[in-house]
Chain A
Amino acid sequence: MKEQPNLSYINQLSGGDKEFETKLISIVKKELPEEIYTYNLNLKNKNFELAADNVHKLKHKISILGLELCYQLAIDYEDDLREQNLSRKNEFENVLQAMINFIEELK
Chain B
Amino acid sequence: MNCIIIDDEEMARAIIEQFASQNKNLKLDAQFEDAIQAIKYLNQHHVDLIFLDIHMPTFSGFDLIQTLKDPPKIILTTSDRNFAIEAFEYECIVDYLVKPISKDRFDKAVNKAIAFQVPNNETSSASNNESKEDSENDLYVNIDRRLIKIDIPSIYLIEAKGDYILIKTSGQNYTVHSTLKKIEDKLPNDNFLKIHRSYIINIKKIIDIEDNSVLIEKDVIPVSRSNRPELMKRLNLL
- With A13-B18, A20-B18: A61-B55 Cβ-Cβ less than 8 Å: no
Q: Which residues of B contact A28 (CB under 8 A)?
A: 11
B window 1-43: CB within 8 A of A: 9-12, 14-15, 18
A13 touches B15 (CB 8 A): yes
A27 touches B99 (CB 8 A): no
| B interface size (C-beta, 8 A) | 15
A59 touches B18 (CB 8 A): no
Interface size range on A against B: 10 to 19
Does any Cβ of B come within 8 Å of A73's Cβ? no
Which residue of chain B has the shortest Cβ distance to A35 in the bound complex?
A: B9
Does any Cβ of B come within 8 Å of A37's Cβ? no
A56 touches B79 (CB 8 A): yes
A24 touches B11 (CB 8 A): yes
Q: How far is the CA of A30 from the CA of B10 in the complex (A)?
A: 10
Q: Mark B75-91, 1 if CB is under 8 A from A, else 0.
A: 00001110000000000
Which residue of chain B has the shortest Cβ distance to A65 in the bound complex?
A: B100
Which residue of chain A has the shortest Cβ distance to B55 in the bound complex?
A: A56
Q: Which residues of A contact B12 (CB under 8 A)?
A: 60
B100 touches A27 (CB 8 A): no
B100 touches A64 (CB 8 A): yes
Q: How far is the CA of A23 from the CA of B81 in the complex (A)?
A: 27
Query: Nearest chain A CB to B6's CB is how many angstroms away?
Result: 15
B100 contact from A30, A60, A75, Cβ within 8 A: A60
Does any Cβ of A come within 8 Å of B171's Cβ? no
Q: How far is the CA of A90 from the CA of B99 in the complex (A)?
A: 25
B window 44-59: CB within 8 A of A: 55, 57
A27 contact from B14, B57, B80, B103, Cβ within 8 A: B14
Q: How far is the CA of A28 from the CA of B9 in the complex (A)?
A: 10
Q: Mark A55-67, 1 if CB is under 8 A from B, else 0.
A: 0110111011000
Q: How far is the CA of A61 from the CA of B12 in the complex (A)?
A: 10
Does any Cβ of B come within 8 Å of A53's Cβ? yes
Which residue of chain A has the shortest Cβ distance to B81 in the bound complex?
A: A75
Which residue of chain A has the shortest Cβ distance to B21 in the bound complex?
A: A20
Q: Which residues of B contact A75 (CB under 8 A)?
A: 81
The 8 lowest CB-CB distance pairs between A and B, nearest first, are: A63-B100, A59-B79, A60-B99, A27-B11, A27-B10, A60-B79, A56-B55, A27-B14
Binding site for A on B (CB under 8 A): 9-12, 14-15, 18, 55, 57, 79-81, 99-100, 103
Binding site for B on A (CB under 8 A): 9, 13, 20, 23-24, 27-28, 30-31, 53, 56-57, 59-61, 63-64, 75
